[in-house]
Amino acid sequence: MTRTRVHNLNISLDGYAAGGTVTLDAPIGGAEALFGGFDGRFIHGIDAVDAPVTLDRALTTLWGQGIGAEIMGRAKFGPPAGDRPDGWRGWWGEEPPFRTPVFVMTHESLPPIEFANGTSFHFVDGPPHEVLRLAREAAGGLDVRLGGGPSTVRQFLQADLVDFMHLVTVPITLGRGVSLWDGVSGTEGRFTVESVASPSGLVHQLWNRNAPVPAG
Amino acid sequence: MTRTRVHNLNISLDGYAAGGTVTLDAPIGGAEALFGGFDGRFIHGIDAVDAPVTLDRALTTLWGQGIGAEIMGRAKFGPPAGDRPDGWRGWWGEEPPFRTPVFVMTHESLPPIEFANGTSFHFVDGPPHEVLRLAREAAGGLDVRLGGGPSTVRQFLQADLVDFMHLVTVPITLGRGVSLWDGVSGTEGRFTVESVASPSGLVHQLWNRNAPVPAG
Say what the pLDDT of residue A216 is.
Answer: 61
What confidence score (pLDDT) does residue A155 get?
96
Q: Is the pLDDT of residue B117 over 90?
A: yes
Q: What is the mean pLDDT of residues B31-44?
A: 91
Q: Determine which of A22-36, A77-91, B55-69, B128-142 has the lowest per-residue pLDDT on average.
A: A22-36
- pLDDT value of residue A15: 93
* Whole-number percent of chain B with pLDDT over 70: 98
**Given this model, what pLDDT does residue A26 score?**
87
How many Cα atoms occupy the beta-carbon half-sphere of A114 within 13 Å? Answer: 2
Q: What is the mean pLDDT of residues A152-169?
A: 97
Asked if A65 and B46 come within 8 Å (Cβ–Cβ), the reply is yes
The predicted model gives B118-142 an average pLDDT of 97
Report strand pairing: A143-146 vs A67-73: parallel
Q: How many Cβ pairs within 8 Å bridge chains A and B? A: 76
Chain A residues 131-190 with CB within 8 Å of chain B: 142-143, 164
Beta carbons within 8 Å of B169's beta carbon, 6+ residues apart = B11, B12, B13, B202, B203, B205
Which residues, other chains included, contact B150 with Cβ-Cβ below 8 Å and sequence gap of 6+? B9, B16, B17, B18, B178, B179, B180
Our separate counts of H helices and E strands in chain A read: 4, 11
- As for the ipTM of the complex, it is 0.93
Q: What is the overall mean pLDDT for chain B? A: 94
Q: Is the pLDDT of residue A164 over 90?
A: yes
In B, minimum Cα distance to A200 occurs at: B194
Query: Which 3-state string (H, E, C) describes B8-65?
Result: EEEEECCCEEECCCCECCECCCCCHHHHCCCCHHHHHCHHHCCCCCCHHHHHHHHHHC
Residue A58 has pLDDT above 70, yes or no: yes
The CATH fold of domain A4-15+29-79+96-209: Dihydrofolate Reductase, subunit A (3.40.430)
- Does A201 reach chain B within 8 Å, measured CB to CB? no
- Return d(Cα B51, Cα B21) in angstroms, integer: 34
Closest Cβ opposite residue A198 in set B1, B58, B196 = B196
pLDDT, average across residues B2-18: 96
A172 to A201, A202, B166, B194: CA distances (angstroms): 10, 10, 29, 22
Q: Parse chain B into domains and list their residue ranges.
A: 4-82+94-184
Write the CB contacts of A72 (distance below 8 Å, at least 6 apart in sequence). Answer: A102, A103, A104, A105, A147, A148, A149, A152
* CB contact (8 A) between residue A208 and residue B54: yes
**Chain B nearest CA to A28, separation (Å):** 27
Residue B1 has pLDDT above 80, yes or no: no
> Which positions in chain B touch A198 (Cβ < 8 Å)?
194, 196
Task: Say whether B65 and A46 touch across the interface (CB within 8 A).
Answer: yes
Measured distance CA(B215)–CA(A51) in Å, rounded: 20
Residue A162: pLDDT above 80?
Answer: yes
Set of chain B residues whose Cβ sits within 8 Å of the Cβ of A199: 194-196
Q: Pick from A74, A113, A109: which is nearest to A96 by CA?
A: A113
Partner-chain residue, chosen from A45, A50, A58, that has the shortest CB–CB distance to B206: A58
Q: Enter the CATH code of domain B4-82+94-184.
A: 3.40.430.10
In contact, A113 and A57? CB cutoff 8 Å: no
Task: Report CA A171 to chain centroid distance, whole Å.
Answer: 20
Residues A158-186, mean pLDDT to the nearest whole number: 94
Residue B159 pLDDT more than 90? yes
The answer to whether A55 contacts B164, with C-beta atoms less than 8 Å apart, is no
Q: Between chains, do A50 and B164 touch, taking CB under 8 Å as contact?
A: no
The answer to whether the CB of A153 falls within 8 A of the CB of A131 is no
* Mean pLDDT of the region A179-184: 92
Mean pLDDT of B20-29: 85
Q: Does A215 touch chain B (CB under 8 A)?
A: no
B199 with A196: Cβ contact below 8 A: yes
Percent of chain A with pLDDT over 90: 83
Residues of chain A with C-beta less than 8 angstroms from the C-beta of B142: 47
Percentage of chain A modeled with pLDDT above 70:
98
